[in-house]
A and B are shown apart, each in its own frame.
Chain A
Amino acid sequence: MDPISYLDSPDVTQARNTANQTQQAYSNAQAEGMTLPQRLTEALNKKFSTNNPMVQQREGQLNNYLNVLDTSQSSVLPENNNGTIFSPIQQANLINSRRNAAFTPLTTTNYLLGLEQGGIGDVVDSVGRAYGADVQRMQGQAEAARNNYLDVYGLAKDKAAYAAQALADAESKRRWEAEFKKPSGSGGGLGGLDLLKELKNLGILNGETTGDEPFKPTEPRPTTLTTPGKISLGGQWVATNNGWVPFQLEGASYPSNTNIYKGMPGLSF
């Protein structure tokens, strides 16, 4: 089995897709959550100010008050009081009383509307908190899916590393046999250690990594984005959702000359 097929296996693909989807859902929910309070407030405000009977009631009371403002003065004239002439103070009291009587319900409704409007903030807070809990749950799901993907991917990577090493060994052996193997009885021939040293000297194999040191690719980072899971030409980078990341098959080392991979089964460049 070729190394790449391990990384493209249905398990890895499914885990990756699940991780991507849950991460995307979490990101979307988080972004929505940022604007949710404002949008909810606007929606409630709009609903509150258009379909609220108290708003219409207030309009009616305002019209009545404006009408009383006009009529209250003429209401104290003698012709409207069977000829009774009120003193200036009596007139002022009567006028103020009529106006207050019209103004009181208006202020009461306005006050109640203010209280109602204050409730919008509470509604927005509660919805925001509930939504925040949902976002947190989605974050947990996304993290779990990502961890699962990393586990599955790590396993596949190990399998691919073994397969790649096997391929490299086979290729090395083939090339060695083709290039260096002397006819039997010539007294030549290289041992296993000598062979590796020779391959390094020829630049076919680069230096080995110990596994303890961080892997530093010698291949330049590819600049074009591609499908996650795709290996770079030099084999030292793998495409992920977060871009190209260093990639090393465990136990393997890579020749700087990437032409060596051309024609290998399962590797497409």
Chain B
Amino acid sequence: MNDSLLQQLAGTDRNPMQEQEYRRELDKSGIPYTIDAQGKTIVEGFGAGGGSADGRGFFSPANILIQQSIAAYTKQLDEYNKKYNQYTSNNPFVFDEVLKEESAKVKERLDPYYTQTLGDYLQGVETQRRRSLQDERTLLSELQRNTDTYTGNERQQLEDAIDKSQQGFADAGVYDSGARLREEGRIKADSNERTDEFNYNQEQRANAYKLSTERGLEDSRFQEGLKRRDLATDQAYQVQAQAIPEAQSRQKLYEFQRQQFAGTPPGVNPINYQNSLYGLLG
């Protein structure tokens, strides 16, 4: 079989006119080419040709059909990629950004729960603190009242004891004796000793109560700190745990919409492709 013009030109060291003719033949056959700096026509897979290059084999009818098929497929693929990239550049998707947005949304959604939970806890704690302080104040008032009563009674008893002692010394005619003064001194010292002891005990009880209240408040503040920390940790976890799937869901949706925009890739059955595409959403 005679060689075609393209086969002949491909295997020739072409002059400029032949080079032009070669390009026309390539155009007619739909074979893509580029032109290098020396003006030589380059066909992918064949190069500039000429000389010993096997133009007969490369540009055989079957090979031309293959080349045309590749060119057609490449063109379709380029168009598909163009649309795909167009969607991507018009609608950029940055996972971290989307995750940030979704985290904010989830946080906003979960905030009422954590606000309520912390509020309920703090309300309990505040009540407890208020009651402790109130109980302390009540107890200290009672202690003070007891002290006042005791002090009054003790003073009365002291006066009675001194009166009684003076009367005894007066009846004995030794009112002015040193013994009366000594007896009165002893009575007063006894009274003072009892009062001091009573006051000391009262003070001890008041201090113990204050200490207990203070420790209760300290424990309460510590528990509040723990509670706040636990709730913050839990909220941070829940926000992330729910925001990540939300971001993934948006990513799937984005991919679905991008594929729908780009259309069926070349060489793929459109119905099979559409059916598979919906699988992206799951």
Binding site for B on A (CB under 8 A): 45, 48-49, 58, 62, 65-66, 69, 73-74, 76-78, 85-89, 91-92, 103, 106-107, 110, 113-114, 117, 120
Contact = CB atoms under 8 A, between A and B. Distances in A.
A69 B109 contact: no
A49 B271 contact: yes
Contacts of B238: 88-89
25 contacts: A45-B271, A49-B271, A66-B253, A69-B249, A73-B109, A76-B109, A77-B109, A78-B112, A85-B112, A87-B113, A88-B110, A88-B113, A88-B235, A88-B238, A91-B109, A91-B110, A92-B241, A92-B242, A106-B278, A106-B281, A107-B278, A110-B278, A110-B279, A113-B271, A117-B275
Nearest to A86: B113
Interface string B81-122: 000000000000000000000000110011011001000000
A133 to B, nearest CB: 27
A58 B278 CA distance: 10
A220 B212 CA distance: 132
Nearest 8 interchain pairs by C-beta: A88-B238, A110-B278, A114-B275, A117-B271, A85-B112, A85-B113, A85-B116, A88-B110
B274 interface: yes
A85 B118 CA distance: 13
Interface of B: 105-106, 109-110, 112-113, 116, 234-235, 238, 241-242, 246, 249, 253, 269-272, 274-275, 278-279, 281-282
B interface secondary structure, majority = helix
B266 to A, nearest CB: 14
Contacts of A114: 275
Nearest to A46: B270
A112 to B, nearest CB: 10
A79 B234 CA distance: 23
B232 to A, nearest CB: 13
Contacts of A62: 278, 281
Contacts of B109: 73-74, 76-77, 91
Nearest to A73: B109
Contacts of A87: 113
Contacts of B272: 117
A88 B242 CA distance: 9
Contact of A65 (B112, B270, B281): B281
Contacts of A88: 110, 113, 234-235, 238, 242
B113 A48 contact: no
Given A76-B109, A91-B110, A107 B282 contact: yes
A48 B271 contact: yes
B112 A77 contact: yes
Nearest to A79: B112
B150 to A, nearest CB: 55
Nearest to A45: B271
A166 B246 CA distance: 101
* Residue with the highest number of chain B CB atoms closer than 10 Å, among A45, A73, A88: A88
Nearest to A92: B242
Contact of A103 (B112, B116, B282): B282
Given A58-B278, A89-B238, A113-B274, 6 more contacts: A76-B109, A86-B113, A91-B242, A106-B281, A107-B278, A107-B282
A120 B272 CA distance: 11
A87 B279 CA distance: 31
Contacts of B112: 77-78, 85
Nearest to A99: B249
Contacts of A58: 278
Nearest to A83: B112
Nearest to A52: B271
A89 B249 CA distance: 18
Given A86-B113, A88-B242, A103-B282, A110 B275 contact: yes
A50 to B, nearest CB: 11
A214 B269 CA distance: 56
Given A58-B278, A107-B282, A73 B249 contact: no
A78 B116 CA distance: 11
Contacts of B281: 62, 65, 103, 106
Contacts of B279: 110
Contacts of B249: 69
Nearest to B102: A73
Nearest to B277: A110
B268 to A, nearest CB: 12
Nearest to A87: B113
Contacts of A73: 105-106, 109, 246
